[in-house]
Each structure stands twice: as structure tokens, then as C-alpha cells.
A and B are shown apart, each in its own frame.
Chain A
Amino acid sequence: MLGYMGKLLRVDLTSRTLRDEPLDPETARALVGGAGYAARIINDEVPGDADPLGPKNKLLFMTGPLTATSFPTTARYEVCTKSPLTNMWLDASSSGWWARDFKMAGYDGLIVEGVADAPVYLWIKDGKAEIRDASRLWGMDSDETQAAIRAELGDEKIKVSCIGPAGEKLVPLGCVMNDEQRAAGRGGAGAVMGSKKLKAVAVRGTMKVPVADETKLREVAKGLREGITHHPVVSQFTPYGTAFLLEDGWVSGDIPNKNWGKGVWRKGCELLNGRVMAETILVPHAACQGCFIRCARWIKINEGRFAMEGPGPEYETLAAFGTMLMNDDLAAVCWANDLANRYGIDTISTGSVIAFAMEAYEKGVIGREEAGCDLTWGNVDAIIEMIDQIGNARGLGALLGKGVKRAAAELGRGTEAYAVHVKGMEVPYHDPRAYFSQATSYATGPRGACHMHGASFVLEQGAPRPDTGIPSEVDRFSNEGKGILAKLAQDKASVVGSMVMCMIASDGMIYAGMADALEAVTGEPWTSERVAQTGERITNLQRVFSLKCGITGADDTLPKRLLEGPDEGTHAGKIPDLSVLLPDYYRERGWDENGRPTPKKLEELGLTDIAGEF
């Protein structure tokens, strides 16, 4: 099948066996690849009641048909599993270089099952795979692990996806890291990897991906490049990275501050934004493989206690370790980012749990002795200490590393009121009180609160969306008509995660462009309608798995803090009304009033076989 290497590698760590199995063309036609294809395997093979950190859970590393082709921003992969943070569906994607080498080593995906009896890593090169001893690597951080494997195998070109100490210690905020601190960040895939005692997957590939029409693919890529170069928003990513958002996002109220308790923090945003970074500490460096947008940052801080050189923080991390914690020290955020990435913990959730702890400290629920530091807002020493505790699962950090939902449940004393999560997933840093469709997207997101799986607020920002039929002027504070926006954003993200390409670049693409790219690579007939329906199919399949895991419509909600109006800003006093938003969304989705796909909807999507499973 064109666009694919045609096989998956299945590794059983319990029996230490490896076997190639053919990619199923029908599944690939229906679900493309990446997190779409993975949703089928996980639905079929992982029981809903499986312990996420037990032997019955499986961990998939998946590429898509675009991976390792000449199409830009496609050196990306999806890590899919049952999440130890949310106990339901999880996909987490990462860019860099690893995915390209993995696919060029001859595989579309890797399925890891069972549990090894001692630390191991996988070494895959041009169609050959082996399990190797990782005892020597256990305890190393994510940067050290990569360097040690390259040295051991004697090839500097090897790419490594791995876990840091947090994943080894089964911290539910643990993520999977690769290349220059790129992260499959959210939901705890690193802890699943650690539970299997799988330290890393090292790859080196020189095989070629078969492409149906290379000339057409290059034409589509050219169109994308031209569109993005002139796109007033996406073009900002090159000079300022995703951090450009901090420069003016505070005007709309998009940026949360002080654990979502403060509507606007202009000073912080003025000191932490992408322009400031570009003018002070940014240095030229390669971005992800094959990417012309180059949002990735590389920074050099020459002096002071946070002097360093390395990958710099992107928007979410600047909000996580900056505005959420009332910390306006850019160098300290860079340091914290580096530390979190080395330990292999999700910066978004980590910032959120520290913000939660700071609020609990302020309210007297947590004391100084318990915290091991003075957890006052903006205290950079405390931020760094807490990252160290979480990354090593020690002290208060051992509790916080379980996520705010469990931390609040264990602490009690009213802390639930400011534990900001959906289904256990800490809310990323776009305030749904500034754009009401985002309330729906967060409440219903396939992996919990997520901006990568439904950035519907973008559709409320007035950009023309000729492919969607959505009017360009949308009242951001209206509760009406937002269900379709959330659905569109989620389904588009589902396709992007199956192709697999970067979400940022996809913002410059409409469905027709995605169809053209898929058609050029696979030679299959693709249309805008097929792209839209494929996205819907994938989102429903992921939802069904989560329903099997026990979530219900009652879990489609927002935390209390986000149902209180912000104190100041253009969004002051604005509260999304879920009693209007959710029924509208369910209607648009063809789901019943409890958020379950109806048999009719599943039939329409060709998913009748799973209709009786939840």
C-alpha cells in the first residue's frame, strides 16, 4: 500500500519475542494511520478495565502515511495507550526527527505489550529489531539516555525515543521524550513505558517510503508553504515561536494566570513573550526535520544562575512555569523547562499541579515543612524544587505527580475547588471563558482537556474558514452554535493525528489540501468529505474506548474554577453555560443525551462492530 511501509512491529516484553505483522489495508483506508489506526488496535486489544500500568495495557508508537515523505512537518509520531492519568484513551504526539528514522527503518508502527523482567530498550535498524539490556541506562535523564545509546551503538545518527526518571518511577505525569527535548507530553505515556521497563526505542532507517505521486505531493507542499508564509497568524511562528501568543493573548483573556484565578497579568506576559525571547536569548538552530515553519526555540543564557544553552520553552510551558505561577523570570522558565524535560514530565500538567500546590499553600492546606520549600507565588526556587520532587517522585512531589485530580482527592480540605482538570487531565493554557467553544472542546476532548485535540477557539477568532461553512464573525461569548465548532476542531485534529503531521502547519490547511496530500501519498481517491468523515470516525472510535473504560456523559464537564467568571479583562464575569453547550454538541455529533454515539451514528461511520461494546 503506497505511503506505508506495510508492516507493524509487535514486541511482547514478557516473553521477549518480536514479530512483524502486516499493516491491514482496510484499517488504513478507514483510519489512515497514527492515532487513528492505534484507536482500532487499542479498542480491539486493550480491555476497558485494564490497569494502565499493568501488563494488559499496550503502548503503541505510530506513524502515518505522510511520515518520512517530502511533505513538511511530518517527522511526527503518536504514542497511544490507556492513560494512567485519566484511565481512558490517550494519544500524545511528538515531532523532531525520531519518527522519520523509525518509519524508514521499515515500520509504520510499534506495538509494545507485556512487561519486561528487567530494564530493556529496543534497537530497530532497517527492518531488523532486537531487545537490549538497559540496566545501565536506568536512572539516566532523557538527554543522557539518548547520548548513552548512541555511544553504545556507535552511531551518532541514531534517534532515540525514551523516558526519564519520572517514567521509570511510574509518575502519571511522565512523558515520552525524543531528540532535542521533544515530548509526547500529555497523559502519562512515559509511566506506561516505565511500567513495561522499556527505557527507550532507538532507531536508524535508510529505507524509502513508497509515494504514489511525488510531483503532486511537492505541489501540495508548495501551496502549504506559500499559504503559511502569507498567513498573518501562522507566519508569526517563525520569528517568535508559539510564544508569540503571550504578547497579545492577554487582551482576549486567553492566557490563564495564578492557577486560573487571575484574569489578566500584563506585566508577566510582557516579560515572557516570544518577541522578548527573540530579542534576548534566542539563537539560530535547526528545528524539526523538514520543517520550514521552525517554531522550535533554541536559547542561550550567558550569565546568571540560570545560564544555559538548549531547547527553549514554547507557549504552553511559558504559561505553565510563568503566568500560572506568577513567575515573570524568563531565564527561570527556561531552566525549569530543561529540568522537566530531562526528568521527562509533562510541562503543562507539571505547571498546573505546582500552581495548585501554591494555592493550597496560600490557603494554609499545605505547610512549608510538607512542601520542603516556600511555595509562594512566583518563587523560582520553589518552582525548581517542586519540579525536582515531581520528577523524582519524592516528598510532596510524589503526590503532585499523580495529577491535580488525585492530589486534591488525597488532600481534601476544599482543594477540589481549585484542581483544574477534565477527567484527570490538567487543562492546557487557553481559557475557555474567553472563547466558549473551547469549554465544549475541553469538556468532551478525546483525551481529556486538550487544545491539541480540538483548538476550536481558533474558529472563534475571525479567520476565514472556507472549508467549514462557519461564518467568520462568531460571538466568542455566545453559548449558541458552538457544538459544531468543537466537533470540527476535534475531527480535524483526529485526521492530523492520523496522517501524521504537525498541528501548527495543519492550521494553514483546509480539508481539500489534506485530501490532496493524502491522495498524492497513497494514490487513493481522497476528497474533503472523506477527510471530514475519517476525522469523525476516529474521534468516535476513541470515544468508544473511553466509554469502555468507564467514563460517562457526567464526566463531560469543566472544573469549578472555570465555571467562575474571571475577575478582570475583556472576559471578566464571562461563564460558559454547559447546559446549553453540551446538548448542542451531542446533537451535532449524533450522540445520545449521555454522550454515547448512537447505533445510527456508528453505522454511518462503518463502526457497527463496536456498537455493543460499551
Chain B
Amino acid sequence: MQVTVSFLGPLRDRVGEKSLLVELPAAATYRDLLDSIGPTMQARLPDWAWDSGRRSFSARMMVSRNLAADLRDETTCLAEGDEILVVLPLAGG
């Protein structure tokens, strides 16, 4: 199945792309997605965005699946066509 990982704001600049289309086996979990994109994230994102120890987005990032509740549970099953949104929550004027 395919899921899209969308990067917004400063993350988009760091990753160098607006989104990544990721191919995953059926019934893949959020952990599987993190393992799949981990090397790319490790190479492109700074420490405040990617936690290499946990092999996951850092606690400061907000990750959401299809704009539902915040996604933290790594056992969450993903589905074909999912959009995983990754943002650095930002303050602003």
C-alpha cells in the first residue's frame, strides 16, 4: 500500500520535499513507516525534528494521521491512501 508523508513549514525546507510517497506492506503500522523513512529522516532532519535514539520524530513534532487526533501510538495500523502530516508546532504573531 502507499501512504503519503507530508512535511510542512520548516520541515519541508529541511526534508527538501513537500511530501514523500512511501510503499509499505499491507497492514503496516506507524512503526513500519518510521523504519522505512528512518534513514532519509536521519540524513535530512536536525536533532530537534528526528530522534535517532527512538528512531522516530522527536517529541516536539506533531504527527497526525489524516488530520485525526495526534499520532503517537507506533502500533497504529495504517491504510492505503493515508496522509501522515508532520509539523513542528509553531508559535506566531
Contacts and interface: CB of A to CB of B under 8 A. Distances in A.
The answer on A and B forming one complex is: yes
B88 A242 contact: no
B26 interface: no
Interface string B40-72: 000000101100000000011110100111100
B93 A463 contact: no
A461 interface: yes
Task: Kindly state the interface size class of chain A when it binds its partner.
Answer: 35 or more
Contacts of B69: 570, 572
A572 B70 CA distance: 11
Task: Kindly state the interface size class of chain B when it binds its partner.
Answer: 20 to 34
A54 to B, nearest CB: 33
A444 B27 CA distance: 48
B90 A244 contact: yes
Contact of B92 (A249, A569, A570): A249
Contacts of A314: 93
Contacts of A235: 10
A455 interface: yes
A554 B11 CA distance: 43
B79 interface: no
Contacts of B64: 251, 570
Contacts of A248: 8-9, 87-88, 90
Interface in A470-522: 472-473, 503-504, 507
A118 interface: no
A264 B90 contact: no
Nearest to A461: B89
Contacts of B93: 241-242, 245, 295, 314-316, 503-504
Contact of A461 (B10, B67, B90): B90
Nearest to A504: B93
Query: Lowest 5 A-B CB distances belong to which pairs?
Result: A242-B93, A245-B92, A248-B8, A462-B60, A461-B89
15 contacts: A232-B49, A232-B88, A241-B93, A244-B9, A244-B90, A247-B9, A248-B87, A248-B88, A251-B67, A295-B93, A316-B93, A461-B91, A462-B61, A503-B93, A570-B70
Interface of A: 232-233, 235-236, 241-242, 244-245, 247-249, 251-252, 254, 264, 266, 295, 314-316, 430, 455, 457-458, 461-463, 472-473, 503-504, 507, 568-570, 572
